[in-house]
């Protein structure tokens, strides 16, 4: 765990004890400048971990985050904002229709989508991650396509050139995408470069592109760019999404669902 992650964890733990605290008091406790505390506040409010109102910092009781995760892993992501992710996934499952061919991206939110697809619905589904496969494999009326490849434990994802070649031969009604970052100018990003080719292939092979992302992902930038916002047809997110983002999304012609 690096210095910043240690500081953020101390920030969260101290706030849980104090319930409410000023910027100056937090700076004194952490032995840092008030400017550093304000930067941390911006990051933690974006994640809905804390609230900052009238000069007071307060822990958000609806947050599922207990500490700052030192590095990305699918398992740690499942613990963050799980209620919002479940609601997003549950709603997204209503967009799946009988006899659809769908592609389901790796991720913690798309796992909820896979879970809520009705067991009795005839669907052809392509996936390339372990957690999605585990959700779908018990559904008797789903025809599964699993391209395989090299396994990446952090994302529970399989990828290879052979898998991409197979995806390029598939045509799907809908692809359900996840994202680690969404930015107006810099587009949609994920955590790992090895994800890029697969993500771009599934987008190219699908008619309707549906992005599933909780509101903390907006205004975030992650290392690996895979698509522009303009290529997305539908976004499903939670009702915490800032009004400016809601206006922007609708303004560029993307269908928006808030759950």
pLDDT, average across residues 225-241: 97
Does the pLDDT at position 226 exceed 80? yes
The rounded distance, in Å, linking the Cα atoms of 126 and 202 is 9
Between residues 43 and 115, the one the model is more confident about: 115
Does the pLDDT at position 214 exceed 80? yes
pLDDT, average across residues 168-189: 97
pLDDT at position 62 is 66
- Residue 189 φ then ψ, to 5°: -130, 160
Does the pLDDT at position 208 exceed 70? yes
pLDDT at position 37 is 93
pLDDT at position 13 is 83
CB 95 within 8 A of CB 118: no
Does the pLDDT at position 72 exceed 50? no
| 3-63 under CATH 1.10.10.10, yes or no | yes
Span 121-135, pLDDT tens digits: 999 999 999 999 999
Inter-CA distances, 145 with 22, 59, 64, 101, 237, Å: 53, 43, 33, 10, 27
Between residues 123 and 192, the one the model is more confident about: 123
Domain ranges of the chain: 3-63, 74-258
The rounded distance, in Å, linking the Cα atoms of 188 and 190 is 7
Does the fold of domain 74-258 match that of domain 3-63? Answer: no
Highest mean pLDDT among 63-67, 71-75, 250-254 belongs to 250-254
CB 156 within 8 A of CB 131: yes
pLDDT, average across residues 44-70: 74
Give 8's pLDDT tier (boundaries 50, 70, 90).
confident
pLDDT at position 69 is 46
pLDDT at position 71 is 47
Q: What is the mean pLDDT of the chain?
A: 90
As a three-state string, the secondary structure of the chain is CCHHHHHHHHHHHHHHHHCEEEHHHHHHHHCCCHHHHHHHHHHHHHCCCEEEECCEEEECCCCCCCCCCCCCCHHHHHCCCHHHHHHHHHHHHCCCCCCCEEEECCCHHHHHHHHHCCCCCCEEEEECEHHHHHHHCCCCCEEEECCCCEEECCCCEEECHHHHHHHHHCCEEEEEECCCEEECCCEEEECCHHHHHHHHHHHHCEEEEEEECCHHHECCCCCEEEECHHHCCEEEECCCCCHHHHHHHHHCCCEEEEC
CB 224 within 8 A of CB 191: yes
Q: Which fold would CATH assign to domain 74-258?
A: Rossmann fold (3.40.50)
Structure token digits, residue 241:
């999404």
């Amino acid at each position: 765990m690096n210095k910043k992650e240690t500081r953020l964890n101390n920030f969260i733990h101290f706030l849980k004890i104090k319930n409410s605290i000023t910027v100056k008091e937090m700076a004194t406790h952490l032995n840092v400048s008030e400017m550093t505390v304000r930067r941390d506040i911006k990051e933690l409010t974006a994640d809905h971990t804390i609230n900052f109102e009238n000069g007071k910092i307060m822990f958000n009781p609806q947050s599922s985050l207990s500490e700052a995760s030192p590095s990305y892993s699918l398992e740690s992501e499942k613990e963050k904002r799980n209620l919002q992710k479940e609601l997003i996934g549950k709603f997204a499952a209503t967009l799946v229709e009988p006899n659809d061919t769908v592609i389901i991206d790796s991720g913690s939110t798309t796992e909820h989508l896979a879970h809520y697809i009705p067991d009795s619905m005839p669907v052809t589904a392509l996936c390339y991650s372990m957690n999605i496969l585990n959700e779908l494999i018990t559904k008797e009326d789903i025809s599964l396509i699993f391209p395989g490849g090299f396994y990446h434990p952090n994302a529970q994802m399989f990828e290879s050139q052979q898998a991409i070649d197979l995806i390029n031969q598939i045509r799907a009604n809908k692809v359900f995408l996840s994202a680690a970052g969404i930015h107006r100018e810099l587009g949609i990003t994920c955590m790992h470069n090895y994800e890029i080719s697969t993500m771009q292939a599934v987008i190219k092979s699908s008619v309707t592109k549906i992005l599933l992302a909780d509101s903390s992902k907006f205004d975030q930038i992650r290392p690996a760019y895979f698509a522009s916002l303009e290529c997305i047809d539908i976004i499903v997110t939670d009702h915490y999404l800032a009004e400016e983002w809601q206006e922007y999304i609708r303004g560029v012609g993307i269908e928006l669902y808030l759950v």
